[in-house]
């Protein structure tokens, strides 16, 4: 198997309403990075799994447009209406906007692009990472 990966950096804000006793219940921001890992049993005619620029154009371009410098909130967050009225850039999720949920969204988008994505690693900060869909071993 052959693997390639593309790292994507972006800034976003969020809060986790389902964390009522933790710090994540408050609006806050992160400088994040996502590693999109692709795998193929063979290389194409160019000797590649996929051209890195294709990943940049499609997946990184989508992340830049939808996540970068946006407030990412769950659809039922009471602040959605106020932030929309103020013209703030928002991305709304069905589930709480955790690192795992954002990794899942990026993973699914890469799949929809037809890319042979294996997993997405998502760093909210430099010292914490989540991987979708395979969890890290215990």
H or E element: which one contains 131? Answer: strand 128-132
* CA-to-CA separations, 7 to 25, 82, 108, in angstroms, rounded: 28, 33, 16
Per-residue pLDDT tens listing for the chain (138 residues): 999 999 999 999 999 998 878 889 999 999 999 999 999 999 999 999 999 999 999 999 999 999 999 999 999 999 999 999 999 999 999 999 999 999 999 999 999 999 999 999 999 999 999 999 976 665
In a domain, 138, yes or no: no
Q: Is the pTM of this model over 0.85?
A: yes
In a domain, 31, yes or no: yes
In a domain, 91, yes or no: yes
Sheet of 117-125, strand order: 90-93, 70-74, 2-14, 28-40, 117-125, 128-132
Our count of domains for the chain comes to: 1
């Amino acid at each position: 198997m052959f693997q390639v990966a593309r790292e994507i950096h972006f800034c976003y804000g969020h809060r986790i309403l389902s964390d009522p006793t933790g710090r994540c219940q408050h609006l806050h921001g992160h400088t994040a990075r996502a590693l999109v890992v692709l795998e193929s049993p063979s290389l194409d005619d160019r000797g590649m799994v996929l051209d890195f620029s294709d990943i940049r154009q499609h997946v990184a371009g989508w992340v830049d447009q939808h996540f970068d410098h946006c407030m990412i909130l769950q659809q039922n967050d009471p602040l959605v209406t106020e932030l929309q009225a103020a013209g703030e850039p928002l991305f709304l999720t069905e589930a709480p906007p955790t690192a795992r949920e954002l990794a899942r969204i990026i993973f699914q988008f890469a799949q929809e692009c037809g890319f042979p994505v294996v997993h997405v690693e998502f760093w909210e900060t430099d010292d914490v990472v989540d991987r979708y869909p395979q969890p890290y071993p215990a």
